Amino acid sequence: MPPYPLPLFPLNVVLFPGTPLPLHIFEPRYRQMLADCLIGDRRFGIVQAGANTEAPDRGAVGCVAEIRANEQLPDGRSHIVVVGGARFVVQRLLEDPAPYFVGLVEEFLDQAGTAPVAATQTEVRDLFVRYYELYRVLHDADPEEPELPEEAVPLSFAISAALQCDQPLKCRLLATRATRERFELLLRLIPVLSGELESAVRVHRRAYQNGKGSPHSVLPTEL
CATH number of 74's domain: 2.30.130.40
**Model confidence pLDDT, tens digit, residues 169-193:** 999 999 999 999 999 999 999 999 9
Residue 66 and residue 86: Cα distance in Å, rounded?
Answer: 10
Q: What is the C-alpha end-to-end distance of the chain, expressed in Å? A: 48
Same domain, 92 and 146: no
Among candidate residues 148, 142, 153, 108, the one with its CA nearest the CA of residue 128: 148
- Whether residue 216 is predicted with pLDDT greater than 90 in this model: the reply is no
Residue 205 forms part of a structural domain: yes
Q: What is the pTM of this model?
A: 0.88
**Model confidence pLDDT, tens digit, residues 145-176:** 778 999 999 999 999 999 999 999 999 999 99
- Whether residue 30 is predicted with pLDDT greater than 70 in this model: the reply is yes
Same domain, 103 and 141: no
Strand partners, 25: 78
Same domain, 9 and 95: yes
Element (H, E) at 22: strand 20-25
Residue 112 forms part of a structural domain: no
Same domain, 84 and 126: no
Total domains in the chain come to 2
Q: What is the mean pLDDT of the chain?
A: 90
Residue 113 forms part of a structural domain: no
Residue 218 forms part of a structural domain: no
Q: Which domain holds residue 72?
A: 4-107
Q: Which of 61, 88, 107 is the last residue of a domain?
A: 107
Residue 129 forms part of a structural domain: yes
Looking at residues 71-88, what average pLDDT do you find?
96
Residue 92 forms part of a structural domain: yes
**Model confidence pLDDT, tens digit, residues 3-22:** 999 999 999 999 999 999 99
Give the rounded distance of the alpha carbon of 209 from its chain centre.
35
Among candidate residues 40, 45, 29, the one with its CA nearest the CA of residue 82: 45
Same domain, 102 and 122: no
